[in-house]
Amino acid sequence: MSQTDIQRLRRIAIANTLFSPTTLRRAIEKLGFLQADPIRSPARAQDLILRHRVKGYQAGDLEKRYSKLEVDEDFLFAYGFLPRSLSPLLYPREKYILSDLETEVLDHVGNNGPVHPQDLEATFGSERARNGWGGFSKATKRALEKLHHYGYLRIAGRKKGVRLYQRTPERNGGQSPEERFLTLAHLIARFHSPVDKKALFRALNCLKHIVSEPSRRKVLLDEVLESNGFEQETIDGIEYVWPKPKNRIAELRDHIRFLAPFDPLVRDRERFEHLWGWTYRFEAYIPAAKRERGYYALPLLWRDDVIGWANANVANDRLHLQIGYEGQAPKSRAYRQALEHEATRLATFLRLQEDQWEFVK
């Protein structure tokens, strides 16, 4: 393994996704997809991802401004947000016949939307049904989720974090399945770059409802990479692909970034281990006694290296930060100043006073 090759890949990965902060709408367009997660520790993943990419962003801005952004909540390779111009390409999904209840709920939302799940109880009652996690939810809530998954409903916004549903406008079916696949495959390839080509092909299983044959998906993937000028290089036996940079990759400054566990830079755990030389795992669902780094450890990016993690929580309107390292902590003054600057940035993002933070052990 050449350390020079690894450092180059790191810089390509950083340049691919940590672009200069811009507007909220433009940031989502540049990302192409924004993964969502409901856990707040100290904020939701989507907010933690956007704070590095949107000027003056604060926790909750996406939810507040959602209805005016021309974006949709939907499922691509994970659940999240994508530009509304792209969400119609996901449909139709696999064939599905609506139940009587789902048909009635769809009509009700069409006549009364946007609808909060609790609004349906007066009309349909509070009967419960088994949900996808093996437990039970209200049957009307499950109906709303099914109707959303199959494209009959869209998310109009949220009220205190709860989805509001409305009828999806008529879609134009002008693009062929292969055209839809090519556009979405390009988005997925660009989002994950630089990416192991084999892992990228597996990721495209999320589009098998559009192009069902694996052999055809492979041909179309090659077409995406060739027609969009992707570079390819084998490093340590891994065939990486990435879009050719439009500009020369700038020298990295003395910056620290606390990254969300699902940030595009770190969400591919196999690539993470290859590029940064240690194993990072998301431990929120692991019993506390078995956690190595913390409930919601945020990978710590220093210059072009992820050297550790931060656990952050707010108590009594004060941000508490616990920092851990995979090796030795840098001793330089530049590092300490960058760490304090990132703590201040995180506090203001959380709508605290810029000095309302402290490091704890």
> Which tens digit of pLDDT belongs to each residue from 49-101?
999 999 999 999 999 999 999 999 999 999 999 999 999 999 999 889 999 99
Domain with CATH 1.10.10.10 in the chain: 92-167
Q: What is the pLDDT of residue 127?
A: 65
Residue 95: per-residue pLDDT: 87
What DSSP assignment string belongs to 182-250? HHHHHHHHHHH-SEEHHHHHHHGGGGTTTS--HHHHHHHHHHHHHHTTEEEEEETTEEEEEEPPSSPPP
pLDDT-flagged residues of the chain (< 50):
130-136
3-state secondary structure of 82: strand
DSSP category for residue 77: S
Q: How do 162-167 and 195-196 pair as beta strands? A: unpaired
Q: Determine the Cα–Cα distance for residues 218 and 204; give it in Å rounded to an integer.
A: 9
Residue 169: other Cβ atoms inside 10 A: 8
* Per-residue pLDDT at 263: 98
Question: What pLDDT score was predicted for residue 7?
Answer: 92
* CA dist., res. 262 & res. 45, Å (int): 7
What pLDDT sits at residue 227?
96
Give residue 245's pLDDT. Answer: 79
Cis peptide before 38 (omega within 30 of 0): no
DSSP reduced 3-state for 134: coil
**CA–CA separation, 101 and 124 (whole Å):** 9
Cα of first residue to Cα of last residue in the chain, in angstroms, is 36
Cα(195)–Cα(67) distance, rounded to whole angstroms? 33
Q: What is the CATH number of domain 92-167?
A: 1.10.10.10
Beta bridge partners of 73: 81
Tell me, what amino acid is at 115?
V
Q: What pLDDT score was predicted for residue 4?
A: 86
What CA–CA distance (Å, rounded) separates 115 from 102? 14
